[in-house]
A and B are shown apart, each in its own frame.
Chain A
Amino acid sequence: MTGLLSTGVERGADALDGPLRRLHAQCREVAPSFREVGVALDRDPDSIRDFLHLPAFGVLGQVFTPPEYQTGDLVVDAFDPTCTALCVVLEALSHGDPGAILAGPGAGLCRDVVRELGDDAQREQFFGRVDDGPTWTFFGLTEPGKGSAALELDTRLTPAPDGDGWLLHGEKKYIGNGARAQIGVVFCRRAPGPWGIEAVVVDPSAEGFSGELLPMVGLRGARISHLRFDAVRVPADRVLGRHRTPSRRGIYGALHALLRFRPGLGAMTLGLTQAACDYLAEHRPVLPKADQARVDALLDRIAAVRRMMYDVAADVDRGVVNAHRIGTVKMRAAQLGERATLLAAELLGPASLIEHPWLEKAYRDLRAFEFMEGTSNLHRLSVFQGLLKSDYFPAAGHADAPRH
């Protein structure tokens, strides 16, 4: 069972055009190999290197490397790196395993912040490093006492006493690939206020940098980590966007990257959620009518959130970045994911979480999407703010004007 309609895409993806459907089909073809990767990573997160030859990782390289820096052979047809394409790829590959995506090397979430803020030399340095063999990166925003509230971060950037660049002090927690990465971006405070936040490129081999792996319930391949910076030296040319005004770098870069990636996180959630439903259909093809109705109701909702996801992705691609609507997609996808695995575990019968190891893993993994990039409560509050600003519901008959 694949959940695919005769059109080759899932319900709710009907609006995708021909090239994106082809991209979807190509990704779904290589996605099953991620199942084995996901299971192996759950046992040993360091086993990722055994699988990097798989074509699915090549697809990720295409997604997370800006076209001008791509050097390897293309695995799937070349495509514009739009938000819509990101959603297509990430949902399709997550039907295999989202943990494999998060475990993989590449620029990941750093892609957009470096591409947007970096000058030519910084982009060349960062993407050149990422292209130089398997290179893992991290996006250092979340802090122990503050979560991912970008405006409230405490990690400090102070001038080096010898006048040579800056020193980084503080800590970041729950950072994907933090303890494995060879390069990363850290958001930190140079001065009070929102424009006092900077994004700096950090080399984990620098003195004063330490990373510790955290014991997580699921998505173990992501190697979620606790990072500490004890006067880590940051050369002056590693401050991203140093050629820009303060209002167009640090915090701007964080929000730029997060909001453009967030529909993709929804896509990853939907991919695994759909996979859980497909797994149930494969193992219980015939259900009592009342139970089938519960599954159908869930599938209706998954299709609805998928439509909403492609709507917000299309908005992003035309320059409309509505945080309230984007957050809705991420939040609802995460909630549906938990519902899907709870329902599958119930309908597959007693001890299903022992007899179906893949389901038990998906059951754990899907819980992570509740808190990644903001908890549901945070996104609820954002929806409320959107209502106050009359910015949540699109005006009837009027497309929102682009805002960057």
Chain B
Amino acid sequence: MSYPALLDALHDRTAGDHLVASASGVVIASGESIAGDHPLTRFGLGVGRRDPDDPLVLERFADGLLDLHRQLLRRGIDHAVEHLNGRTSGDTTLLDRQLVQASLADVAVEIRESEALRPDDPASRWRAHQGLTAAGRLLLTLLGASSFLVTGPGGELHLAEVTGNVYLHPGEEDR
């Protein structure tokens, strides 16, 4: 399932009858749910605006976004293992390289640790998002130029970063 579809499902689970709007009034959902012309359109997302949702709704949505981000990272690890196993350097695969193995392990550890964080306020959710963003960037360093394809972990993780910037950024006072 693509990130835009997963995001729409999260909107549906969280609010049911409408798309969740962030505290700043920005709404991000799939391009099918929000039509329009935006740089994110070619990634399959649409951007809208309306009155912010209730803080309790936003909390549930934020926790769901962190789950989605972790899900993308796990998918990214699977993709990286397959990709790196198919790439050779000298007489071995890139996956056999210690540097590569350690980086993949670091990403996996961050996912596990993030699951155990249990953030309970906007500031701690933002910190959790930043941890996942850093893990994603580390993962992408292993994929070379393929990390820059829209159709792969690089495109999806960009969407998770932008969505987090919209829904998880706590604002100046709570940061």
Q: Report A's interface with B, CB cutoff 8 A.
A: 42-43, 142, 145-147, 149, 152, 173-174, 214-219, 224, 288, 338, 342, 345-346, 349-354, 357, 360-361, 364, 367-368, 370-372, 375-377, 380-381
Instruction: Enumerate chain B residues within 8 angstroms of A147, measured Cβ to Cβ.
Output: 87, 89, 144-145
Bitwise interface map of B from 141 to 175 toward A, beta carbon under 8 Å scored 1, else 0: 11111111111001100100110011001111001
Complex CA distance for A346 and B162, rounded to whole angstroms: 11
Asked if B100 CB lies within 8 Å of chain A CBs, one says yes
Partner pick for A145 among B87, B145, B158, B172, CB 8 A cutoff: B87
Given A152-B89, A216-B148, list of 13 further CB < 8 A pairs? A145-B87, A146-B88, A147-B144, A215-B151, A216-B149, A217-B158, A338-B137, A352-B165, A367-B148, A370-B147, A371-B141, A372-B145, A377-B141
Partner pick for B172 among A42, A349, A360, A370, CB 8 A cutoff: A349
Q: Are A146 and B87 within 8 A (Cβ)?
A: yes
Q: Are B47 and A354 within 8 A (Cβ)?
A: yes
User: If the complex has contacts A354-B26, A360-B39, are A349 and B148 also in contact, measured as CB distance less than 8 A?
Assistant: no
5 cross-chain pairs, A with B, having the tightest CB-CB distances, nearest first: A174-B145, A350-B169, A215-B150, A351-B24, A351-B26
Instruction: Enumerate chain A residues within 8 angstroms of B141, measured Cβ to Cβ.
Output: 370-371, 375-377
Report B84 CB to chain A, min CB distance, Å.
11
Instruction: Enumerate chain B residues within 8 angstroms of A376, measured Cβ to Cβ.
Output: 141
Q: Report B's interface with A, CB cutoff 8 A.
A: 22-24, 26, 28, 39, 42, 47, 86-90, 99-100, 103, 133, 137, 140-151, 154-155, 158, 161-162, 165-166, 169-172, 175
Report B161 CB to chain A, min CB distance, Å.
8
Complex CA distance for A215 and B146, rounded to whole angstroms: 10
Instruction: Enumerate chain B residues within 8 angstroms of A372, measured Cβ to Cβ.
Output: 145
Complex CA distance for A149 and B90, rounded to whole angstroms: 10
B170 closest partner in A (C-beta): A350
User: If the complex has contacts A342-B133, A360-B39, are A368 and B165 also in contact, measured as CB distance less than 8 A?
Assistant: no
A342 closest partner in B (C-beta): B133
Complex CA distance for A57 and B84, rounded to whole angstroms: 39
Report A194 CB to chain B, min CB distance, Å.
13
Instruction: Enumerate chain A residues within 8 angstroms of B144, measured Cβ to Cβ.
Output: 147, 371, 375
Partner pick for B150 among A42, A217, A367, A371, CB 8 A cutoff: A217
Complex CA distance for A54 and B90, rounded to whole angstroms: 46
A219 closest partner in B (C-beta): B148
Complex CA distance for A367 and B153, rounded to whole angstroms: 13
Instruction: Enumerate chain A residues within 8 angstroms of B99, measured Cβ to Cβ.
Output: 377, 380-381
Q: Are B169 and A42 within 8 A (Cβ)?
A: no
Instruction: Enumerate chain A residues within 8 angstroms of B172, measured Cβ to Cβ.
Output: 288, 349
Instruction: Enumerate chain B residues within 8 angstroms of A350, measured Cβ to Cβ.
Output: 22-24, 165-166, 169-171
Complex CA distance for A70 and B117, rounded to whole angstroms: 61
Report B52 CB to chain A, min CB distance, Å.
10
Report B175 CB to chain A, min CB distance, Å.
8
Instruction: Enumerate chain A residues within 8 angstroms of B22, measured Cβ to Cβ.
Output: 350-351
Partner pick for B145 among A152, A173, A354, CB 8 A cutoff: A173
Report A217 CB to chain B, min CB distance, Å.
5
Instruction: Enumerate chain A residues within 8 angstroms of B143, measured Cβ to Cβ.
Output: 371
Instruction: Enumerate chain B residues within 8 angstroms of A375, measured Cβ to Cβ.
Output: 141-142, 144
Q: Are A142 and B145 within 8 A (Cβ)?
A: yes
A287 closest partner in B (C-beta): B172
Complex CA distance for A237 and B69, rounded to whole angstroms: 54
Instruction: Enumerate chain B residues within 8 angstroms of A214, measured Cβ to Cβ.
Output: 149
Complex CA distance for A378 and B129, rounded to whole angstroms: 28
Q: Are B166 and A353 within 8 A (Cβ)?
A: yes
User: If the complex has contacts A149-B89, A350-B166, A351-B169, are A357 and B39 also in contact, measured as CB distance less than 8 A?
Assistant: yes
Partner pick for A218 among B47, B86, B148, CB 8 A cutoff: B148
Q: Are A368 and B89 within 8 A (Cβ)?
A: no
Q: Are A360 and B148 within 8 A (Cβ)?
A: no
Q: What are 7 A-B contacts defined by CB distance under 8 Å?
A: A146-B89, A216-B149, A217-B154, A342-B133, A349-B171, A350-B170, A377-B141
Complex CA distance for A370 and B147, rounded to whole angstroms: 10
Complex CA distance for A346 and B175, rounded to whole angstroms: 9
Q: Are A217 and B39 within 8 A (Cβ)?
A: no
Instruction: Enumerate chain B residues within 8 angstroms of A381, measured Cβ to Cβ.
Output: 99
B103 closest partner in A (C-beta): A377
A43 closest partner in B (C-beta): B39
Q: Are B155 and A217 within 8 A (Cβ)?
A: yes
Instruction: Enumerate chain A residues within 8 angstroms of B169, measured Cβ to Cβ.
Output: 346, 349-352
Report A38 CB to chain B, min CB distance, Å.
12
Complex CA distance for A58 and B130, rounded to whole angstroms: 42
Q: Are A353 and B162 within 8 A (Cβ)?
A: yes
Q: Which among A43, A216, A376 has the highest number of chain B CB atoms within 10 Å?
A: A216
Q: Are A353 and B145 within 8 A (Cβ)?
A: no
Report B100 CB to chain A, min CB distance, Å.
7
Q: Are A42 and B39 within 8 A (Cβ)?
A: yes
Complex CA distance for A370 and B86, rounded to whole angstroms: 21
User: If the complex has contacts A149-B89, A215-B151, are A351 and B165 also in contact, measured as CB distance less than 8 A?
Assistant: yes
Instruction: Enumerate chain B residues within 8 angstroms of A361, measured Cβ to Cβ.
Output: 39
Instruction: Enumerate chain B residues within 8 angstroms of A217, measured Cβ to Cβ.
Output: 148-150, 154-155, 158
Complex CA distance for A224 and B26, rounded to whole angstroms: 32
Report A106 CB to chain B, min CB distance, Å.
22
Complex CA distance for A50 and B9, rounded to whole angstroms: 42
